[in-house]
Structure 1
Amino acid sequence: MNHKQLKYFLALADTLHFSRASERCFVSPPTLSRQIKQLEEEVGAPLFLRDNRTVELTQQGKAFVHYAQATLASWRQFKSECVDDDKPLTGELSLFCSVTATYSFIYDLFSKFRHLYPQVELNLITGDPAHSIAEVASGKEDVAVAVKPKHLPNGIEYLPIGRSRLVFIGPTMDCPLKSIIDEYSHSEMPWQRLSFIMPEQGVLKDRIDNFCKKHNFVPKVYAHVSGHEAMVALASLGFGIACVPEIVISQSPFKNQVQLLQLRSDEIEIGLVTKNKRLYDPVVKALWDTAKGLFTL
């Protein structure tokens, strides 16, 4: 087996979808399938159960995830120890963040980093920011953009890169929800009458739960949604109000279809996270130092 096959395996184990995994790995689905089959033949056991509709990890596959992650991490660490200081920095780095973060933070960071270290391969993976710290802690990704939690897990390094207010938003289109909002626009909102678009998990969900407890009501939840951008979309359609970072609104294609409600909530802090030991990798350390010089709070 080779390291490329291990990367293919981890991509498929994460997505459980051949088309999405092949897009992430920049190969065709048949090529990915062939490489996985070769890997299974070498391992001597099936790593996935698959049919025309679903892909699932076998028990052996679940165990192999840890082996593949540890092997690739050890390989990256070995490569970093072999770096020649007299030669340009080379290697690769993966960063996990939300779609909004790619516009508001990561574009500038990657632009600066590419200028300083053009031979480093950068891989960007987007997803729900509630998963950011877990993606790093599990070893799936090297660095992530995350909302700072109340307590950071052991072994996780954090670097602040920005702040954003939390704001409640509702629709601008005519609908029953907007009628209620307009009726109470100059007074306390009847929160118990409003439907909520809630995040599935993470710091933002904790903040909203605390807000509901403070105002002594149980929210009427229309939907639990993964990702801030999707929350804005549903709020713009009048399915419920949502509480999201203001920076998400400024970057959203639906910003003209939502209104900020009278109430303003507190701020969140946004930063980069990585494992402490990953900072011994020259590539990760270079990105970290670039971010330090670019973002000053």
Structure 2
Amino acid sequence: MDFRSLQLFKHLATSLHFGDTAEAMYVSPSTLSRVIQRLEDELGCTLFKRDNRKVALTHSGHKLLSFSTQALKDWQQLKADLKEDTEALQGEISLFCSVTASQSHLPAILRQFRQQHPGVDIRLITGDPALSIEKIKQKQCDLAIAIHTPDLPTDLYFSPLDNVPLVLIAPREWRLTQLAQINWTQHQVIMPEHGPTRRIAYHWFAEHGVRPNVYASVGGNEAIVSMVALECGIGFVPKVVLDHSSMASLVTQIAVEDIEPYALGLCCLQDKQQEPLIDAFLKLDFIPRG
């Protein structure tokens, strides 16, 4: 028994006419008769009642019709699935992001990507977000969750994901709740060593005529939260970092309405933008957190 024999049988079981089935299935009537005889010999039963006037299915024929219908349907589905597997994206793509972004934004991105492209392996690299642009430039990763800056190199492509506000935090024990309570000559400030938070914070200080009394410069926004929680000073951090910090309960947020947020997005080299794996990532319908 083979699928071609089942196709011929199924058509005949529907048409109940040897001539019509032979014409429709592009076989001779004698070939069709031999196929049906071979099926009957193999199964050890009669599939059709035949006389000079009509053809009818036997009880055994009805059972084989049910079987052949499902078998042929499964066969077609299998072929479609195998074709889809062959055409599906395959390979590996490397992605760089901060530990915070791997918790806040990456899960939703990867969930969509894995659903659409299960054959692609993802290599995740985490580190200081200030290094994301350099990682892309040095081709140490294919994509990065990065922060847009005014001096973003022209050979990079940036696809926005979300706007991330900055918040000013102070040690909870200091009981500072309003901006007016801060004495900028006395309250020391924890600053990042580099990156967009440093740029935005210094821009805000300049606009308000403030010369910050810097206690320390640290690597990474997470370190700022830790230093503030340990009562070393106050500092600006991205709200998403504070939301995912285990030390958030030890600091107080102070409202600062006029400090600019920064744009978070997927970044890659311009000349790699159309590569299939990178293009698939950039086409994800990601919904910003809010």
TM-score w.r.t. structure 1 length?
Answer: 0.65
- Counterpart position of 2:69: none
Aligned to 2:90: 90
Alpha-carbon distance in 1 for matches of 2:116, 2:255? 44
Deviation at 1:86, TM superposition (A): 4.3
Measured after TM superposition, the shift of residue 253 of structure 1 is 1.1
Could you say what secondary structure the match of 1:153 adopts?
coil
For the residue of structure 2 that corresponds to 1:102, the secondary structure is helix
Superposed CA offset, 1:185-235 (max 9, x none): 473521121111111112111111112222223222222111111111111
Query: Cα RMSD between the aligned structures?
Result: 2.0
Cα deviation digits, residues 224-255 of structure 1 (max 9, x gap): 11111111111111111110111111111111
Matched pairs, number: 205
Q: Is 1:221 the equivalent of 2:214?
A: yes
**One of 231, 242, 246 as aligned partner of 1:238:** 231
Aligned to 2:260: 266
In the alignment, residue 225 of structure 1 is paired with which amino acid? V
SS in 1 for 2:216: strand
Secondary structure, counterpart of 1:197 in structure 2: strand
Residues 1:254 and 2:247 are matched in the alignment: yes
Aligned-pair CA distance for 1:295: 3.1
Q: Is the 8 A contact 2:179 2:256 kept in 1?
A: no
Separation of aligned partners in 2, 1:155 and 1:280: 14
Aligned partner of 2:156 in structure 1 is 156
Q: Which runs of no fewer than 5 residues in structure 2 stay unpaired?
A: 1-83
- 1:247 is paired with a residue of what secondary structure? helix
Matches for 1:65-80 after TM superposition, within 5 Å? none
Q: Does 1:114 align with 2:114?
A: yes
Q: Percent identity?
A: 31
Task: Find the structure with the greater CA-based Rg.
Answer: 2
Asked whether the 8 Å contact 2:179–2:254 carries over to 1, the reply is: no
Q: Which moved more, 1:95-104 or 1:214-223?
A: 214-223
State the SS of the aligned residue for 1:253: coil
Q: Distance in 2 between matches of 1:103 and 1:206?
A: 24
Aligned with residue 200 of structure 2, among 186, 203, 207:
207
> 2:185 is aligned with what amino acid?
Q
Match of 2:286 in 1: 294
Q: Could you report, residue by residue, the CA deviation over 1:100-124 in whole angstroms, capped at 9, with x for unpaired residues?
A: 1111111111111111111211011
TM-score normalised by L of structure 2 = 0.66
Find the counterpart in structure 1 of residue 142 from structure 2.
142
Go from structure 1 to structure 2 and tell me whether the alpha carbon gap of 1:163 and 1:186 turns closer, same or farther (over 3 Å shift). Answer: closer
In the alignment, the residues of structure 2 paired with residue 227 and residue 195 of structure 1 have an alpha-carbon distance, to the nearest angstrom, of 18
Distance 2:161 2:133 in 1: 15
8 Å contact from structure 2 (residues 228, 251) kept in 1:
yes
Residue range with higher mean Cα deviation, 206-215 or 238-247: 206-215
Provide the C-alpha distance between the structure 1 equivalents of 2:223 and 2:246, rounded to a whole number of angstroms. 11
